Each structure stands twice: as structure tokens, then as C-alpha cells.
Structure 1
Amino acid sequence: MTLGCARNDVDSEELAGRLAAEGWDVAASADGAEGDADVVVVNTCTFVEQAKKDSVDAVLAAGGGSPGGAKVVAVGCMAERYGAELAEALPEAAAVLGFDHYGDLPSRLDDVLAGRPLASHTPTDRRTLLPISPVKRPEAVERGSIPGHEWLPEVPRQRLDDAPVAPLKLASGCDRRCSFCAIPSFRGAFVSRDPRDVVAEAAWLADHGVAEVLLVSENSTSYGKDIDARGAAGGALERLLGELAAVPGMRRVRVSYLQPAEVRPPLLRAIAATPRVASYFDLSFQHASAPVLRRMRRFGSRETFLALCREIRALDPEAGIRSNVIVGFPGETEDDLAELEAFLAEAELDAVGVFGYSDEDGTEALDLPDKVDTAEIAARVERITRLAEHVAEDRAARRVGTTVEVLVERGEDADDEAEDGHWVGRAAHQGPEVDGECRLVGDDDLLEGLAPGVLVTGRVVDAEGVDLVVEALAVVDDTGADAADGQHVGATPVGAGAW
């Protein structure tokens, strides 16, 4: 059971792979295995207060579906962050394990089943440790099974679903010190994965039915700063995008978690123009008022963020831009909120996640003065959410008449078969699960031949909120014919080449 972000999804599949390698029968849910589960592993989240509550509820409920009383083990960010404290508060959990237990999880679960006592995880500020994190993989071994490459790392991963899109971890940890964020304290320092391992895992995913990978990390724009002597500006991410675009069977590569202060023109060009890379910019603005951003220990302003959006749309007018914002941060005034509203109206983003500020243990913001009342924060969230939804719906409506490429994900029924000829997928400007989707209509013969993972060229004929209705025109073949929507499939990869 996995809660939280796509980074946790990767961790869960890695843990599943380790368990399967040691002979465990692994299912995505406690009732998905044949018979009753002996152990339920809950991968927890601690991003915001609601996520903590959801994680606790999941641990409490995890054993309820098993008449034999499955043992419940908590892992993930909340387990790492609170350790023994969480174990004391949740006696229902047979064990609370931190990130350092991931490498030997099969042995730890053996201990749980045998009733052998396990010392509860003791949290440590991982910023003080060497940058060791769950992202690290074994060194590459000679396999020669990927065309064009003479290596393939052991990939300790087992897919827990058959969706045609899957997250792929670029790095773990973060070196930034945003005043509202506790992630660096339990995820540790920033560590880039070896690019060869990233490409090899993408090839492994493609071999297992994945048509799109979503590159995830705490801060993707920092990728390579610990690999290349020139730092992140050395073009490591741009080169990696070119390599990933060339993976056989991979139809789309998408980058997430971009830090606006670290984005440089070469990266913008690579995302906008690299073949098979979605022209999609997931930019973590957080606010647009310069005074609020400074209190957040972040850089930028309404003017600089608007300039960045203009630069992106000069490269590709149809590029997708999404972001998240926090309202109700300590000291936020009506003028600050008006500045955020003006930015959202001018920037015309495709999607905006709106969060209300909540105190987080161990953060600088916890002790900041001028806290905003909880009821007022809720009112501001509702106010900004209404504006964000209006802006996103207007942006979607203006896509009517344009040509897009849709990655087919599922039918409208639960069996991945088209209901009345309709399939559902996403265009390049739509990130998985958060940014709306496309419903395919059109020629019955064409639609009947579709399946999850197929890429289709289509014309947008209507908008339903942020969702689009797309008339399917043609299937994009493996050579990249009929490329559109910022994908540029079939061209020479930008940044491809030797490391």
C-alpha cells in the first residue's frame, strides 16, 4: 500500500522487487494476493498534515482485511521521520522501518513473521549524514542486453500495476533549505543517479509495457551537479533526456519537479525540442510575491516567473506549464495574495495545485511570526483555487482546434476496453493524475484497434473543464510518423551523446 507522491511509488516497486527476489509473493494490495496476506507493508507519506493523517489511517486499516490478522509494517517518509515516536503511537504496527532498512527488508519481514523483536527506527537528521539514500543502485554489471549499451544494472524493481506510464527516479534528497519544507531532514542530501542506470531502468520499464516515464526527484534541475564538475549547468539532464528518448519502445519522457531558480535556457530548449520528450514544464513556483518568497527562502517574483513562462512559450506556444502554490504562509498579506492572483491570471498556467500552509516540525517557518488564522487560510485556499481552476479551464478551451498526441491509458470501463469506442489518455501538456486527460472519439475502426500504451494523433474538438475531447486521426508508428504536440518524434535527440 503506497501513499504520497510518485517517488514513493518507485520506492514501493523497488521494495517489491527486493522481496520477490527473496521468494516472497508480492501483491499491490493485501487482498490482491492469492489467499490472505501475512504482512502488509504501508509506504507512508508526511508531506502535509492531511498526508500524515492518511498514513496513520492506512496503518490502522491495513490489517483489517485479513481474517488471520496480517502483520503491519510501516515504511516510507513518515516512518523515517518519526521512527520510535510513531511506533509508540501506533502499537498496531508490528514494525516501523526507516530508509536504511530497505536493503534488507526481506530479512526484517522474516523477523516480523517469526515474532522476533525489532528495535524501532531512530530518526536522524539526514542532512548531517553522507548522501546515502534509497535511490542508490548496485554498480552496473556487464549484460549487453540493451541495443547500443554494454551494461545493465540489477534493477531491484517489480511493477505493481500494468499502467503504460511509470515514474522513474532521477535522484533523491535535496540541498535547498526552503523554510516550510522538512524533506531534506529525512530524505538527506541531493544524490544524482548514474545516468547509465537511469537509462537502463527506462529500458527495463519499456520491456515491461511502459510507454511513458515520469522523471521524479526532489529537485530535477539539480540533476548532475554531483556527477559533472561543471555542476547542473553542465547539461547532464539535457544529455540524459536525449538518451532516454532513444530507448526502444519508449514513446514519451516527462520531467517533473523543476526548480524555477535553477532552470537555464539549454534545459528549456531540451524539454521543448527533444524527440519523445513532453513539452511540459512542472515548475515549483510556490508563490509570486517577492516578500513571501524570501520568507520561504526561495528566489523569484511575479515578474521573473512571468518572464520564464514567456520564454517557454516562445519555444513552444502549446507547451504545458503547471505549478503548485502555498497560501496562508506566515506574514502573507492581502497585497501578497493579490500579487499571486495577478501572476496566475497573467501566466495562464495549464494546472495549479493549491495548498494551505501548515506548520511542519523542524522547519524554520514553524517559528515565524504573524501566523495566518486557520479559517483564513482555508478561505484563501478556496479563493485561489477558484481562480486557478478558471485559468486552467480557459487555457484548455483555447486548445480546441489544435493538434495533440494522446498516449492511450485506459478504456472508460474498468477492464481497459473502450466503452462505446471511447478511450482515455493524456496529451503532452497533461501530467499523470493531476492535469486533466483526453477522451478519444472518432472513427470506430481506428478506435477499436487501440490499446493502452498506443500514441495517437488527434484534433481537439471540445473542452470539458480541463479535460479535452480529441478526435483520433492516426496512430503514431514507431518511426515517429504524424508527430505533433511538442513531441517532435523521429528527429535527432537533443543532448544525446557520450557522457
Structure 2
Amino acid sequence: PEGVAPVSGPRAPLRRRLDGSPVASVKLASGCDRRCSFCAIPSFRGSFISRRPSDVLNETRWLAEQGVKEIMLVSENNTSYGKDLGDIRLLETMLPELAEIDGIERVRVSYLQPAEMRPGLIDALTSTPNVAPYFDLSFQHSAPDVLRAMRRFGDTDRFLELLDTIRSKAPQAGVRSNFIVGFPGETEADLAELERFLTGARLDAIGVFGYSDEDGTEAATYENKLDQDVVDERLARVSRLAEELVAQRAEERVGETVHVLVESVGSVDGEEWGAVGRAAHQAPETDGQVQFTSGEGLTVGRIVEAKVVGTEGVDLVAEPLLGSLPCTEEAAR
């Protein structure tokens, strides 16, 4: 039907656009094959099942016809896309095809597993025109003992090395992550190790959550749980640190030229900012935004160059450079 996305397959999402936003999500897969001890998702969403590339491409073409300028690829673990189709590097192959679709000006990939990051995927995310150099990396913690209890892999130094590799290829790359504090068995030394990682990682956005049991998970059966007041204290402590660090990271971007997708023009929350949008390092709703010093000449859905002249917490304040050539994500690297 007119206005309804093309679909195929038993799990294909039938969708109709309900608004005129220049941004839309596109589902890459359903389910998850990882068995993190704190997560119940595999128990009710099943195994990881990738959508066929043709379906993803067709849906993106349809969205472009509806006026979408940025697509965000979503699943429980985008680094695994294609493994059940016989090609674990399918995402690297598909990204250039998505980015070349007429009308699509930015492709963003969400939710990546640090332990599954590979050189080819890093290269694709940092060097493909119109693909945002953006890394939503699910670190969760950085202390080895806690990660093992979570059934995850890595440590502070390996994670920092991964970030160094990314930034060596794309210095302005955006990185965000979520973390769980107060996990069963977490010691003060473990928490200090997490703080060491956060301080060195220079993340653009940080989500911090206190551990709580999820029914049906392995972690819910652990006996070495922390008292709730300890969990709450650690949550407050790390949240304060995270807030300071993301504000510092935003300040580091003052003077940078960023490429901003304009999402609204006019007043925002009662304040006359002129226009608001998001740079390549900012995902919708979670990572802050760019507040323009002037909305003159700006239209929703356009990507414009802007110079960062200040910050408001995690948000950037930027002056649009309207005399610039049309922008692509290639110029943002």
C-alpha cells in the first residue's frame, strides 16, 4: 500500500511513517546469540536472525523516498550481522550500498560489541562516505573479573587500544557506551579500574546503570550480591564522574568543524536557539545535540557545516557556515 514500507520474510517489520522526521531506524536483525549473565533478551527474543541485505536496502530506499536523510541501523548486536547468512563481513559490504542510496545523507550503526570489532568493520565505519564515524560500543565494565562474571571479554587496556585505533583513523569519531555498576562481586578495586577506563576513554556519551536482577538470568542466581545501598552509592559516584567527563569531551570539540543534520528550526523547550540538530558523533535522543547560534537559512533535513563555539553540558553550540559546500560524512573524519 502507498505509504507503507516494502516487507518480506516472516519477521519483516511492516511499518508506516507517522511523522516527517529526517531520521529513521532500520532493523538489521532480531534476537541475540550472546549469553551475557545479566541479560534476559535471548530467552524471549530467540537466536540472532539477520534480515536479508535486499530487504534492508529496499526499506532504506523507501525511507529515502519518504524524505528520510539519516538511517540508524539497529539490532541487539550489529557486529554479528550476516553470520547466520554465511558472511560475518556482510555489514562492511552493505554499508557503501546503503550510503549510496539517493537521498540518504548519513548512515549510522548502533550497538557494537567491542570483543567482535574487526579491522574491516572499523575501516568501513571510518572511511565510507556518508557513513557516520560513530561507535556505540557496549563495554558494560572494564574490570576483567567483573567482565568474566558477566560472560563478556576484555579489559581496560584492550578497550583503550581499540579506541586509539578508531581515533587514529577518524580523530573526530564519536563513541558512546553503557556501564553497569554494583554487579555481584564487584570490588572497590574493580570500580577503580572502571573509573580509570572512563577517565582515559574520552567518551562522548555515557550511560550508567545500577545492577538489578533480571528474572531468568544467570546473574540473578549469584550469591555475592552487593547491598542495595552500596549499589546506589556506586551508581551516584560513577554517574557524577561520567557527567563531568562527557562535558569535558564536549569542550574538547570547541573549534572543530562539525556536520550537523538540522532536525528543528525555531524555539526548543521555550528557548529561542534558532535551530537544533545533531553532528555525526551524536545519535538521536541519547547523545546530546547541536544548538545553532542562528537558524537563518537552515531547513529541517539539511546537513550543514558548523563551527563549534561553545558547550552546554554535553550539547554543543555551533555557528553555521552557510557558505560551505554541501556536506558529506567524508568531510567529518
1:319 equivalenced with 2:141 (yes/no) = no
Aligned twin of 2:296: 448
Partner AA of 2:107 in structure 1 = V
Aligned twin of 1:138: 8
Q: Which runs of 4+ in 1 moved over 4 A?
A: 418-421, 475-478, 480-483
Distance 2:151 2:19 in 1: 38
Answer with 1 or 2: which has the greater Rg. 1
Secondary structure, in 3 states, of the residue corresponding to 2:159?
helix
Contact 1:454 1:475 in 2 (8 A): no
Q: CA deviation at 1:369?
A: 1.5
Partner AA of 2:32 in structure 1 = C
Contact 1:178 1:296 in 2 (8 A): yes
Q: CA deviation at 1:380?
A: 0.8
Aligned twin of 2:20: 162
Aligned length: 330
Q: CA deviation at 1:482?
A: 9.6
1:361 equivalenced with 2:210 (yes/no) = no
Q: CA deviation at 1:341?
A: 0.2
Contact 2:178 2:208 in 1 (8 A): yes
Deviation digits for residues 217-270 of structure 1 (CA, Å, limit 9, x no counterpart):
000000010112xx41xx210111111100110110000010011010110111
Q: CA deviation at 1:161?
A: 2.2
Higher strand share: 2
Partner AA of 1:303 in structure 2 = D
Indicate how the Cα distance of structure 1 residues 481 and 361 shifts in structure 2: closer, same or farther if over 3 A, else same: closer
Paired residues for 1:368-447 under 5 Å: 368-413=222-267, 422-442=274-294, 447=295
1:204 equivalenced with 2:62 (yes/no) = yes
Partner AA of 1:266 in structure 2 = G
Aligned twin of 2:140: 286
The two structures have a TM-score, normalised by structure 2, of 0.94
Choose between structure 1 and 2 for higher RCO, CA contacts under 8 A separated by at least 6 residues: 2
Partner AA of 2:82 in structure 1 = G
Aligned twin of 1:473: 321
Paired residues for 1:265-276 under 5 Å: 265-276=119-130
Contact 1:476 1:483 in 2 (8 A): no
Distance 1:160 1:434 in 2: 21
Aligned-pair identity in percent equals: 56
Which of these residues, 278, 295, 305, is aligned with residue 457 of structure 1? 305
Partner AA of 1:349 in structure 2 = L
Q: CA deviation at 1:421?
A: 6.7
Aligned twin of 1:303: 157
Contact 1:457 1:484 in 2 (8 A): no
Secondary structure, in 3 states, of the residue corresponding to 2:322?
strand
Contact 1:252 1:278 in 2 (8 A): yes
Distance 1:482 1:319 in 2: 11
Structure 1 portions without partners, runs of 5+: 1-16, 22-135, 140-153, 487-499
Aligned twin of 1:492: none
Distance 2:101 2:220 in 1: 45
The two structures have a TM-score, normalised by structure 1, of 0.63
Secondary structure, in 3 states, of the residue corresponding to 1:300?
coil
Which of these residues, 179, 182, 191, is aligned with residue 328 of structure 1? 182
Secondary structure, in 3 states, of the residue corresponding to 1:413?
strand
Aligned twin of 1:253: 107
Contact 2:266 2:273 in 1 (8 A): no
Contact 1:216 1:255 in 2 (8 A): yes
Distance 1:180 1:155 in 2: 28
Contact 1:424 1:440 in 2 (8 A): yes
Contact 1:393 1:465 in 2 (8 A): yes
Contact 1:173 1:183 in 2 (8 A): yes
Deviation digits for residues 429-464 of structure 1 (CA, Å, limit 9, x no counterpart):
11111111001125xxxx333221110101111111
1:485 equivalenced with 2:332 (yes/no) = yes
Q: CA deviation at 1:184?
A: 0.5
Q: CA deviation at 1:411?
A: 2.5
Distance 1:448 1:301 in 2: 47
